[in-house]
Amino acid sequence: MRKVLVALLLMLVCVDATAQADAAQLYTKLRGKIDGIKDYVADVDMKIDVAFIRVPKLKGKLYFKAPDKMKLERNGGISILPKNSINMTVNNLLPTAQATVIDMGTETLGTRKARVLKVIPDTESDIILSKIWVDEERLLALKTETTTRDNGTIKMELEFGKYEKQSLPDRVTFYLDVKEFKLPKGVTMDYETQTPAAEPAKAKKGNKKGKIQIHYIDYVVNKGIADNVFAEKKK
């Protein structure tokens, strides 16, 4: 009987080790596909909904260059997202260095079955851990939940269509729960002279909450973008 129990335990350990190895391999493939995007320019519609300011829907161009350069060029104005701001791409919400990957099983998102991975960086970084819902068939991240040191927890839902083969979404929704979230100056500058809406009592207590929705109308991918495009203009 004792030998049977030992054998069963060894089998369970082997199965678990295989599952974790498969999960790590899946994450490596996903990360590699995402890293294939070196740069892009996209026409976007952006809607920002936060508790402490009202911002009309924005239209413009979003520039991205790996690993972490980003700029929003608004129609009628320019906003350069601060270095410490949330970089609104899946590239920067998933660990890039060595990490421990844990298989959390599967869940269904809408009509899609997703493999759930928990990813913990092996070295110190702004990301503490990420939870990723992966469509294995298409090798796409459908949803992420990333806990960071400076920006709290960021939840992201991604919808894919025309550019799914390049892991580029048609629409992204960010749910923010942060200690102190500041919108970029270029986004808020047109609205600061308006009388601010009364801040709800719930928003005054605890963390600020917000939602950012980005609709990507089209992309120009991997055509090269000069670094000076992201340089902050001197005032």
Query: What is the pTM for the complete model shown?
Result: 0.78
pLDDT one-digit tens code per residue, 187-222 = 444 444 344 444 444 444 545 678 889 999 999 999
Reply yes or no on domain 2-227 having CATH 3.40.50: no
Radius of gyration of the chain (CA): 20
Which has the closest alpha carbon to 164: 141, 143, 146? 141
In this prediction, residue 77 carries a pLDDT of 63
Q: How far apart are CA 79 and CA 71, in angstroms?
A: 7
In this prediction, residue 10 carries a pLDDT of 40
Extract the residue ranges of the chain whose pLDDT is less than 50.
4, 6-17, 82, 84, 180, 186-204, 206
Per cent of the chain over pLDDT 70 is 68
Structural element, H or E, at residue 68: none
pLDDT one-digit tens code per residue, 64-83 = 998 888 888 888 765 655 45
In this prediction, residue 64 carries a pLDDT of 92
Give the start-to-end residue ranges of the domains of the chain.
Answer: 2-227
Structural element, H or E, at residue 105: strand 99-109
